[in-house]
Structure 1
Amino acid sequence: MDSQPATPWRIDAHHHVWDLAVRDQPWTRNLPALNRSFGMADLRPHLRGAGIDATVVVQTSAVADETADLLALAARDEHVRAVVGWTDVTDPGIGEALDRLREGPGGALLVGVRHAVQEETDTTWLHRDEVRRGLQAIGAAGLVYELLVRADQLPMAVRAVEELPEVRFVLDHAGNPDIAPDALAPWAASMIRLGRCANVTVKLSGPVTRSPAPRTRHLAPYADVLLEQLGPDRLMFGSDWPVCLLAASYERTVAVAASLTARLSPHEQSEVYGGTAARWYGMKRSAGRGPTH
């Protein structure tokens, strides 16, 4: 008898967890909805309700200890299958720092590194020599570098992608565009440039918090540009939970993303909701987990 094809693997490629008893999250102090601890026990019912099989947990603090904690979580949690952590990109010893993280519990599940470039005031930060060396070291280690930038920093990020073709990038939250009629064209111009670069994918994440209201009509023009310029096989869904709770529930966040991609074929939807993330991060479906690159 012929074996049946595996059902599509559904992945939430971007969420966070934090425990305020372990580590402060100063950025949440003026956001009452987020100024508490969030763990996998809080997220798990929503994952199961949405049919999400696996997740990628992403750093929130610029401390290596948080990355070690996230890797240890991934080693024991049934849903977390990959970690995007933090290490000092400007550190001349970044290679050794990555090795130390990979040698600890869950270290095989480290798939990428991120730094909150959106908090940097230098508009040329990604072009600094020490940063470029760090990005190249991340690429040489077989890891992805995730770009977290403000809308005004997007051209800087695009230039880094263009000038470092040997590094694999992921653009978080589609570059955090301003959702406004006069903001679409300049953002779309950046997406056109990224569409020409085979070394980058984009996360369809955080859309509900970028819109004045989490409605499809506000976000559809942006989703259409992403689908036209990058295609489903270079887009990956991420909830950005619990940050999404500032605007919508997990269920509403998933529903908005589904409405933005409703015109896609079943295969194309399976790319956005799992295939792209699985390939880009080298995620394994088996219980004996660990990325391959």
Structure 2
Amino acid sequence: MSRSIDAHVHLWNRATDPQPWIDPATMGVIDRDFAPADLGRMLDSTGVDAAVVVQSSNSAAETRRLLAHPDARIAGVVGWADLTGDVAAQLDGLGPAERGRLVGIRHLVHVDPDPAWLQRPDVGKALEQLGAHGLGFDLVVRWWQLSPAAAVVAAHPGVRFVVDHLGGLAESDDDAGWEAGLRELATRPNVFAKISGLAGLVSGGGGARLRRAVDVALEAFGPERLMYGSDWPLAELGAGPVAWRCAVDELVAELSQAERRAVMSGTASAFYGLGA
């Protein structure tokens, strides 16, 4: 039996990797450090076997620290690399154990000072290097960045991309632009997506909007290109990881057993090369 995978969690120690975006006044519940032991308790509470830890800083040092965690429930790490530099040299500089635990790369595109960062020629060359090394790229973008991202993934058909948090819904309830952008990305077979980052809709009266968003994703990508992620500990800012897991279970309840297995384990395992 395949193990269940939470495809999107974070760990941080603010002594080494500060998180200046955390507002203590409004985000007090996550205004602390999160270690592998905390992750284990969260996974137990949601009934999930293992998780993919995703970088939270554009920092090579943070990536090395994440790769050094020996916890067996960390199935892999999506780290950071400077895609404007020599990516092959950066990857070759990792030790065998580190390289074995690195399953993907992410850059915080949605907050990069350069609005056209993803379209840079040097970044494009680096994406090709990721593909050559068997690594996918996590796309963390806002809804208005989905269409430009679609042009980028079209230019790199040999690279696997996964859209974090279904591409980030708009702050308003008008999802027309988001839907158009997500569907445009989904036309590319090398693009996958994470059902994650939407726990706020569970506790904020957005159940109908959440259902609509997931229905759009299922129709556009199909279960075989979708994966479950809690976005913990940020899920604590919304309904919490347990309520989020229950919500996702309800949202995919009408799928076949094989399709539900894809969302909860198979897609993430295949995309990130996690094995059984």
State the TM-score, normalized to the length of structure 2: 0.93
CA distance in 2, matches of 1:192, 1:151: 11
Deviation at 1:14, TM superposition (A): 0.3
Alignment of 1:142-157 (within 5 A): 142-157=134-149
Give the 3-state SS of the residue equivalent to 1:263 in structure 2. coil
Alignment pair present for 1:196 and 2:187:
yes
Give the 3-state SS of the residue equivalent to 1:33 in structure 2. helix
Deviation at 1:245, TM superposition (A): 0.6
Alignment pair present for 1:72 and 2:65:
no
1:65 and 1:126, CA in 2 relative to 1: closer, same or farther beyond 3 A? same
Give the 3-state SS of the residue equivalent to 2:3 in structure 1. coil
Deviation at 1:55, TM superposition (A): 0.8
Partner of 1:97: 90
Q: Which is further off, 243-252 or 269-278?
A: 243-252
CA distance in 2, matches of 1:177, 1:16: 20
Alignment of 1:26-65 (within 5 A): 26-30=20-24, 31-65=27-61
CA distance in 2, matches of 1:28, 1:241: 14
Give the 3-state SS of the residue equivalent to 1:28 in structure 2. coil
CA distance in 2, matches of 1:209, 1:134: 34
Alignment of 1:1-293 (within 5 A): 6=1, 8-30=2-24, 31-73=27-69, 76-91=70-85, 93-101=86-94, 103=95, 105-178=97-170, 180-183=172-175, 185-209=176-200, 213=204, 215-285=206-276
CA distance in 1, matches of 2:170, 2:36: 30
The one-letter amino acid paired with 1:60 is S
Deviation at 1:271, TM superposition (A): 0.3
The one-letter amino acid paired with 2:227 is M
Deviation at 1:211, TM superposition (A): 6.8
CA distance in 2, matches of 1:35, 1:179: 23
Deviation at 1:169, TM superposition (A): 0.5
CA distance in 2, matches of 1:65, 1:252: 33
Give the count of matched residue pairs: 274
CA distance in 1, matches of 2:126, 2:145: 19
CA distance in 1, matches of 2:113, 2:10: 24
Deviation at 1:49, TM superposition (A): 3.0
Give the 3-state SS of the residue equivalent to 1:178 in structure 2. coil
Partner of 1:291: none
CA distance in 2, matches of 1:263, 1:186: 27
State the TM-score, normalized to the length of structure 1: 0.88
CA distance in 2, matches of 1:212, 1:53: 25
Q: Which runs of 5+ in 1 are unaligned?
A: 1-5, 286-293
1:107 and 1:136, CA in 2 relative to 1: closer, same or farther beyond 3 A? same
Deviation at 1:248, TM superposition (A): 1.8
CA distance in 2, matches of 1:109, 1:139: 16
CA distance in 2, matches of 1:19, 1:269: 34
Asked if structure 1 preserves the Cα contact closer than 8 Å seen for 2:51 and 2:74, the reply is yes
Deviation at 1:215, TM superposition (A): 4.4
Identity %: 40
Q: Which runs of 5+ in 2 are unaligned?
A: none
1:214 and 1:166, CA in 2 relative to 1: closer, same or farther beyond 3 A? farther
Deviation at 1:9, TM superposition (A): 2.0
Asked if structure 2 preserves the Cα contact closer than 8 Å seen for 1:223 and 1:260, the reply is yes
